[in-house]
Every structure is written in structure tokens, then in C-alpha cells.
């Protein structure tokens, strides 16, 4: 018998500061106003506001943003995914 374990989904928004040009497209389209420019003109995130929707990743012309979602199951399994639509 296979028992279905409880699955928890966690996520993170990874920002490649070297690739970010500070264009502000991601900031303009963020529905939760979770992104801002730091003192160097690079994008940063407010983790308390970000819902990891993936809009910023989709619209970034420099591919500087990546939403990573991870499924953690009760049986100890761990699956990482780079698809924000999950």
C-alpha cells in the first residue's frame, strides 16, 4: 500500500546581480511591489512581499531572475523545479 504523504511547497527568487542592468521592468510589473533597486542600481527583493509568481522572471530581458520552487514531502523526498508555473 502506498500512502500519500503531505507535500509542502517552498520557493525562492534568485537574483543574478552580475546580469541585472537595473532596467526596472521587473519592478514595474511586480504585482506585490516586492522588488526595488539597491544603491548600486541592481534589483533586490523584499522577501516578506514576494509571492514567487514568476512575472519578473518572465519579463526580465537579461535573465537575471529565477524563481525556484521546491516540493518537500513528508517522506523526505525533495524535488527542485525552475518552473514558476507549478
The confidence score (pLDDT) of residue 66 equals 97
Helix (H, G, I), strand (E, B) or coil at 52: coil
Task: List the CATH code of the domain at 7-81.
Answer: 3.30.70.20
The confidence score (pLDDT) of residue 6 equals 67
Dihedral (CA of 41, 46, 47, 50) sign: negative
25-68 tens-digit pLDDT: 999 999 999 999 999 999 999 999 999 999 999 999 999 999 99
Give Cα 82 distance to the centre of its chain.
9
Residue with the larger pLDDT of the pair 5 and 11: 11
Number of helical H runs and strand E runs in the chain: 2, 5
The answer to whether 15 touches 65, Cβ cutoff 8 Å, is yes
| pLDDT higher than threshold 90 for residue 7 | no
- Model confidence, pTM: 0.72
The confidence score (pLDDT) of residue 39 equals 96
| Domain definitions of the chain by residue range | 7-81
Amino acid at each position: 500500500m502506498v500512502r500519500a504523504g503531505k507535500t509542502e511547497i517552498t520557493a525562492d527568487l534568485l537574483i543574478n546581480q552580475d546580469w541585472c542592468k537595473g532596467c526596472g521592468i521587473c519592478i514595474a510589473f511586480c504585482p506585490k511591489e516586492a522588488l526595488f533597486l539597491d544603491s548600486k542600481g541592481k534589483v533586490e527583493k523584499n522577501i516578506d512581499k514576494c509571492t514567487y509568481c514568476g512575472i519578473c522572471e518572465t519579463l526580465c530581458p537579461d535573465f537575471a531572475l529565477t524563481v525556484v520552487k521546491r516540493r518537500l514531502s513528508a517522506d523526505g523526498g525533495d524535488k527542485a523545479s525552475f518552473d514558476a508555473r507549478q
